[in-house]
């Protein structure tokens, strides 16, 4: 069970791995926003293509609004287990990240489309509304 209680589905391990690989590629070839504030701004402005939230953020309350905002803006959002893993995938060495948003996927554009569809499917199976 995820601690980010505002998420309306629990992603599979495979989906998390694919989403983190997407983030690794996008951080090298595209543009990403790192951190809760930057991610929130990207979602509010509608420029984020996908949002990530770390489940082990402490206190978790600082990121609870991100899945809600993502849903409101119809932007895919995925909860990943570890903030250190999220930071590394976002191109931060030895720094954790509570939240990240991809603005420009770069060379990972086709992969972004695939991950977004899988998130949509997982949300539908879990009964999340779009």
**Residue ranges of domains in the chain:** 13-125
d(CA 104, CA 106): 6
Residue with tokens 């595209």: 30
93, two tokens = 């060495």
Q: What is the CATH number of domain 13-125?
A: 3.30.1330.30
Tens-digit pLDDT profile for residues 107-125: 999 999 999 999 999 999 9
pTM of the model: 0.94
> Helix 13-29 and helix 109-126: axis angle, to 10°?
150
Reference 98, options 86, 116, 90, 110; nearest CA is: 86
d(CA 56, CA 63): 10
Token pair in block for residue 69: 């905002």
Rounded distance, CA 63 to CA 28, Å?
Answer: 25
* pLDDT digit string, tens, across residues 50-101: 999 999 999 999 999 999 999 999 999 999 999 999 999 999 989 999 999 9
Q: How far apart are CA 82 and CA 99, in angstroms?
A: 11
């Amino acid at each position: 069970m995820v601690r980010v209680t505002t998420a309306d589905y629990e992603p599979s391990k495979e989906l998390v791995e694919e989403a983190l690989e997407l983030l690794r590629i996008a951080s090298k070839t595209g543009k990403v926003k790192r951190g809760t504030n930057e991610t929130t701004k990207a979602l509010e402005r509608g420029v984020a293509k996908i949002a990530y939230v770390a489940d082990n953020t402490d206190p978790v309350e600082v990121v609870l609004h991100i899945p809600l905002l993502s849903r409101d803006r119809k932007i895919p959002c995925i909860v990943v287990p570890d903030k250190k893993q999220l930071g590394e995938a976002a191109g931060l060495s030895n720094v954790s990240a509570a939240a990240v948003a991809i603005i420009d996927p770069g060379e990972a554009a086709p992969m972004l489309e695939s991950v977004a569809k899988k998130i949509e499917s997982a949300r539908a199976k879990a009964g999340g509304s779009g």
